[in-house]
Amino acid sequence: MPFTRFGRTIRKIGVIGSGNIGPDIALHFSQNLYAYGVPVVVVDIVQSALDAGAKKAESKMAKAAEKKIFKKEAADAIFKNMTFTTDYGALSDADLVIEAAFETFEVKNKIFTRCEEVCPKTAILASNTSHLVPDEIFSKMKDKSRCLALHYFFPAERNIAFEIIPAKETDPALLDYSMKFYEFIGKAPIPVKGRYGFALNPIFEGVFLAAALAVEKGIATVKQADAITQKALGMGVGPFTAHNLAGGNPLTQHGLNGMTSTIMPWYRSPKTLDELVKSGKPWEAAGKGEIVDYSPETYKAVSDKVIGAYFGMACEIVGSGITNISDMELGVDVGLVMTPPFGMMNKVGIKKSLELVEAYAKENSGFKVDDILKKQAASGQPWKIPVVLREDKGDVAIVKIRRPKVLNALNEDVFDQLRDTFADIQKDPKIKGAVLTGFGTRAFVSGADIGMLAAQKSAEEAEKACLKNYSILGLMENLGKPVVCAMNGLAFGGGNEIAMSCTARIAQKGQKVFVGQPEPKLGFIPGAGGTQRFPRLVGVEKAWPILRHSNPISSAQAKEIGLIQEEVEGDLIEAAINWVKDILSGKAKVPSIPKGPIPIPSTLPEVDIGHLSRKIDELLQKAILEGAKMSLEDGLKLEAKIFGECFFTKDRQIGIDNFMKNGPKVNANFVHQ
Using alpha carbons only, give the angle 496, 499, 504 rounded to the nearest 5 degrees.
135
Residue 103 has a pLDDT of 85
Fill in the DSSP letter of residue 176: H
pLDDT, position 452: 82
Is 80 exceeded by the pLDDT of residue 343? yes
Domains 3-191 and 201-379 share a fold: no
Q: Secondary structure of the chain: what % helix, strand, coil (to 5)?
A: 50, 15, 35
- pLDDT the model gives residue 450: 82
Q: Report how far residue 399's alpha carbon sits from residue 499's, in angstroms, rounded to the nearest whole number.
A: 13
pLDDT for 484 equals: 98
Residues forming beta bridges with residue 507, ordered by sequence position: 487, 567
The architecture (CATH level 2) of 3-191 comes to 3-Layer(aba) Sandwich (3.40)
Angle in degrees, 0-180, between the axes of helices 239-246 and 201-216, rounded to the nearest 10:
120
- Residues 332 and 337: their CA atoms lie apart, in Å, by 6
Residue 557 has pLDDT above 80, yes or no: yes
DSSP result, 353-416: HHHHHHHHHHHSTT----HHHHHHHHHT-PPP--SEEEEEETTEEEEEE--GGGTT-B-HHHHH
pLDDT of residue 167: 96
Q: In angstroms, rounded to a whole number, what is the distance separating the alpha carbons of residues 608 and 20? A: 53
CA-to-CA distance for 522 and 660, rounded, in angstroms? 10
- The percentage of the chain sitting over the pLDDT mark of 70, rounded to a whole number, equals 100
What is the average per-residue pLDDT within 569-586? 96
Q: What global pTM score does this model have?
A: 0.94
> Quick one: which H or E segment has residue 102?
none
Choice among 157, 463, 477, 519 that is catalytic: 519
Does position 141 have pLDDT exceeding 90, yes or no? Answer: yes
Domain spans, the chain? 3-191, 201-379, 388-662
For residue 455, the model assigns a pLDDT of 84
Is residue 288 predicted with pLDDT exceeding 90? no
pLDDT, the chain, mean: 95
342-350: long-range contacts at Cβ-Cβ below 8 A with a sequence spacing of 24 or more? 342/314, 342/383, 342/385, 343/383, 343/385, 344/233, 344/234, 344/307, 344/310, 344/311, 345/311, 345/382, 345/383, 346/382, 346/383, 346/385, 348/307, 350/376, 350/377, 350/379, 350/380, 350/381, 350/382, 350/383
Q: How many CA atoms lie within 13 A of 201 on its CB side?
A: 31
Q: What is the mean pLDDT of residues 29-36?
A: 96
- Alpha carbons 201 and 208: distance in angstroms, whole number: 10
**In this predicted structure, what is the pLDDT of residue 121?**
95
Q: Is 609 helix (H, G, I), strand (E, B) or coil?
A: coil
User: Does residue 76 register a pLDDT over 80?
Assistant: yes
> Is the model's pLDDT at 246 over the cut of 90?
no
Candidate from 231-235, 279-283, 361-365 with smallest mean pLDDT = 279-283
Selection from 27, 20, 55 nearest residue 41 by Cα: 27
Q: Name the DSSP class of 247.
A: T
Q: Residue 664 — very low, low, confident or very high, per pLDDT cuts 50/70/90? A: confident
> How would residue 196 be classed by pLDDT, with cut points 50, 70 and 90?
very high
Class of 201-379 in CATH: mainly alpha
* 90-121: pLDDT as tens digits: 999 999 999 999 888 889 999 999 999 999 99
**pLDDT exceeds 80 at position 1:** no
Q: pLDDT tens digit string along 506-530?
A: 999 999 999 999 999 999 999 999 9
Q: How sure is the predictor about 572, in pLDDT bands with cuts at 50, 70 and 90? A: very high
Identity of residue 138:
F
Q: What's the pLDDT at 298?
A: 97
Residue 420 C-beta-side C-alpha neighbours within 13 Å: 12
Single out the catalytic residue among 497, 567, 639, 645. 497
Asked if 329 is an active-site residue, the reply is no
pLDDT at residue number 363: 97
Among this protein's residues, is 519 annotated catalytic? Answer: yes
pLDDT over 90 at 289, yes or no: no
CA distances from 183 to 408, 524, 569 (A): 14, 34, 17
- From the candidate CATH numbers 3.90.226.10, 3.40.390.10, 2.30.40.10, 1.10.3720.10, the one assigned to the domain spanning 388-662: 3.90.226.10
Reported confidence tier of residue 665, pLDDT bands at 50, 70, 90: confident
